[in-house]
Structure 1
Amino acid sequence: MEFKVEFKGSYAILFAHLDPGETVIGESGAMVSISGNVDIKTTTGGVFKALKRAFLGGEHIFLNKYTAKNKSTILFAPRLPGDIDVIDLNGTVFLQSTSYLASEENIDLDTKFGGFKTFFSGEGFFLLKLSGIGKVAISSFGAIFKITLQPVEKLTVDTGHVVAFDETVKYSVRTFGGIKSTIFGGEGLVVDFEGPGNVYIQTRNYPDYVKWIKSIAPKDTGSR
């Protein structure tokens, strides 16, 4: 199986090239096109895990399972305008809830409690947890880039810009600059990371973008 990203940047698309018998799992609604003879099944990946993803991690209950009967290509695109990166996973990675796009069949998708404070601003208390060996495609809002932390090296990131991070990375969530900055300064929660491991960051903040759209949207006054 080959994962190839085209049109990297604001409107990236994932090309999943499958040999006969290979299977790729895709986020519900992410499929753009299919070429070849492909068997498609809808799966929950386990009912309990699906319910946790839906109600705790923000993901859909159902995933689509594509199995190639001959050489086939499936295109996937994320819901938000942004980039796609492919992780060659050998272990565990944690994702924010909007960043899962597709993965090889043997990757296990679950959720993990992220701590008492809301980990991703507006996204809930849980992280998506992907474990196994194989390819995982993740998406971002805006461009995506990876920072590799050395042992005990530290990095602080606004929660709205975090896409993913390795299990080996330690993290803690805190308010930024005290309560006044949190309420009046336009900043909310930040994540303190400590290496070793990779942290994936997006260049745009989806919760802030939604707030901005709401601020300029026409208000319904109720008058006719």
Structure 2
Amino acid sequence: METEITHRPSYAHLVVSLEVEETILAEPGAMVSHTPSVSIETSSSRDGLLSSAKSMLGGESLFTNEFTAEREPGTITLAPPKPGDIREYTLDDGTLYAVDGAFLAAEPPIDIDSEFGGLKSMLAGASITPLALTGSGRVFLEAFGGIETVSLDHGESYIIDNENVVAWEGSVDFDARRVGDLKSTLLSGEGLVMEFTGPGNVWYQTRGLDSFVDTIASALPTSDDNDATIEF
């Protein structure tokens, strides 16, 4: 399987060239185009009912699409639903954690499950249930904006706003909390943050989708604006 990421970083687009009987898994809605030799099959979570229920709690789809080149080699193109970059990561019998909406595609040897974030993050109000991508093979992550990498040494920590986190390696410990007390949270415009402690790598996106949506919403005319009359 050969892959190429084009139109980076603002409108990244993943091109996957499949040999006969090769397959790639992708999030529903990610497909842009494919050659006639590529078949599509939609399947539920590969770990059964429990995993499906956990995936639903995590905000991810219960299904993945499997694209397979059957009679001859073929090509499938994939893209995120929002403008931004795509990052390739190779797992070697390890685990990568990805937040809701960050998973785009993976090679079939990768096992996709959902992990509960733990009591601390639930108490912090984060309700974090990241996807656990485990095994050996390539994973493709999507982001809103560009993707930055933070490499942490053993015991070194780094704090990232909750809506900017994309993924982190299984060797990295994490916790979630609110920024200060309620007053400082409201005045600062910041809410939840995640603190990561190495060793390992963490990835974050340079834009936050919720903040972007709020900005667009605030610029739209209200019903009062629409009802206003113009006098000459």
Show CA shifts across 1:87-124 (max 9, x none). Answer: 001211111111110000111111111134459988x4
Match of 1:172 in 2: 175
Q: Superposition pairs for residues 20-39 of structure 1, below 5 Å?
A: 20-39=20-39
Match of 2:206 in 1: 203
Q: Distance in 2 between matches of 1:173 and 1:20?
A: 44
What is the TM-score normalised by the length of structure 2? 0.88
Q: Distance in 2 between matches of 1:102 and 1:49?
A: 18
Matched, 1:152 2:139: no
Cα shift at 1:48: 3.2
Cα shift at 1:19: 1.0
Match of 1:128 in 2: 131
Label 1:82 to 1:152 Cα distance change in 2 as closer, same or farther (>3 A). Answer: same
Matched, 1:66 2:67: yes
Label 1:219 to 1:12 Cα distance change in 2 as closer, same or farther (>3 A). Answer: same
Match of 2:19 in 1: 19
- Matched residue SS, 2:52: helix
Runs of at least 5 residues in structure 2 that lack an aligned partner in the other structure: none
Residue in structure 2 matching 1:52, options 48, 51, 54: 54
Label 1:19 to 1:120 Cα distance change in 2 as closer, same or farther (>3 A). Answer: farther
- One-letter amino acid matched to 2:33: S
Runs of at least 5 residues in structure 1 that lack an aligned partner in the other structure: none
Match of 1:8 in 2: 8
Label 1:108 to 1:119 Cα distance change in 2 as closer, same or farther (>3 A). Answer: farther
Identity of aligned residues (%): 39
- One-letter amino acid matched to 1:58: G
Q: Distance in 2 between matches of 1:215 and 1:223?
A: 17
CA contact (8 A) 1:154 1:195 kept: yes
**Structure 1 runs (4+) greater than 6 angstroms displaced:** 119-122
Residue in structure 1 matching 2:78, options 70, 76, 79: 76
- Matched residue SS, 1:113: coil
Q: Distance in 2 between matches of 1:102 and 1:42?
A: 14
Q: Distance in 2 between matches of 1:63 and 1:24?
A: 10
Which of the two has higher C-alpha Rg? 2
Cα shift at 1:74: 0.7
CA contact (8 A) 1:23 1:67 kept: yes
Q: Distance in 2 between matches of 1:162 and 1:115?
A: 17
Label 1:215 to 1:3 Cα distance change in 2 as closer, same or farther (>3 A). Answer: same
Match of 1:89 in 2: 91
